[in-house]
Chains A and B, each alone.
Chain A
Amino acid sequence: MVDQFFNVGIMIKAWPLVIKGLGMTLLICVVVIPLGAIGSLLAALGALSPNRALRWASLAFIDLFRALPPLVLLIFIYAGLPFAGMSLTPFVAVIIGFFLNNTAYFAEIFRAGLLSVPKGQREAARSTGLTPAQTLIWVTLPQATRNVLPDLLSNVVEVVKLTSLASVVSLGEMLHAAGLVRSITYNASPLVLAAGLYLALLWPLIRLISRFERRLAH
């Protein structure tokens, strides 16, 4: 049992490759999270727009990509598009797929956050002469973000976990690296090593979210 899951020798051998994979994992996050945050803000504003066409288009976008499992999206982009003559590198496919998925999820959170800000806040701001854009930036968005902070952070956790899917299209992130060593050694220890690193990365964040949730509940 210990030998099969916690084999230190194998873990040490796997270490350099897994750490390199961790770099890729973090790179994906660093690209996808800011892109998704910006895209989702636009989608959320669209979903709350008074313009009916824009509103429906935004909601359709959000719902479509919340309904599609991210792995389906990723495989469609990576394995499907080449048949139409559009070959993407795994990295680009992963970024596009996760961007779409992540934008939809962040957008739904921002939408709820913006909705949670009472109408009187916007009216007060507009009555003192702030433009709609200034009202959004200085009054509505700070409150919306604060109200859904735990959800936003939870989604960041989900994005980090999501990166593991990139291994399916052979992008050398952490799980891919660990899986590779596992398939050579026929030993699960590299996977346990990867699990340990995910845990080290995400546990603090999960504790932090629990703290925020408790604070907001009171």
Chain B
Amino acid sequence: MDEALNTGLAGLITRMADDELVLGHRNSEWTGLGPILEEDIAFSSMAQDKIGHALALYQVLERELGGTDPDHFAFFRDAGQYQCCHFVEYPNREYDFSLMRHFLFDAAETVRFASLEESTFQPFRQLARKFRGELKYHMMHARAWIHQLGHGGEAARERMQSCLSSCFGSSLGIFEEGIGDDTLISSGIFPGEKALREKWLELVEPLLEAAAFQMPSVAETGPDTGGRTGIHTSFLQPLLDEMREVFRMDPAASW
């Protein structure tokens, strides 16, 4: 593989893994605090999956592209070296926001890994195949709640609609392009962020509309970008500090 391709690929893997790591950590913050026991367990399980996906991606980086030790890479970079999108950095706020973020992000993850089943990069095909079944359960959970809350009376509907309207722009930041993407697209490694965003809209729009939500317009909200180039919200640094603290308590723990 040539240099440009390697750099682009490392960037893509890093931003995918960083999204999973940071959102996995946010999800885990619901452990012990979920509104009902089932939801507590659901978010804890999904957190475990996300952190597992992050680890698997960091391992690909180490194995295929000469990256550093996955644990160290996951926890001990400077904030500016993380490439997660802003959408995953925001604190959980109320449960409604967490649910809406879970729905929008996991739908994006679903279309991304579905497309990677066709990737020319073999480790992507293996991971995509492995994650497919698990992601189905995440989407099943998210869809059930979007549907129930959309039809669950005016108060619930309004709260979810207001979350959707306020975080939609931020969710578009998932599809912020990376520097080497053109090479990755022409080598068939992934279809590119624009194509993924289209596929994602095709998935989420009908589900949101069936639940009687109104889609915010893409043009009006605009994406919340910067994360892929290391520019982050003020929420990332405290989150990293906390993750490191947990990691330092037991650096040998296998996660």
Asked if A pairs with B, the answer is: no
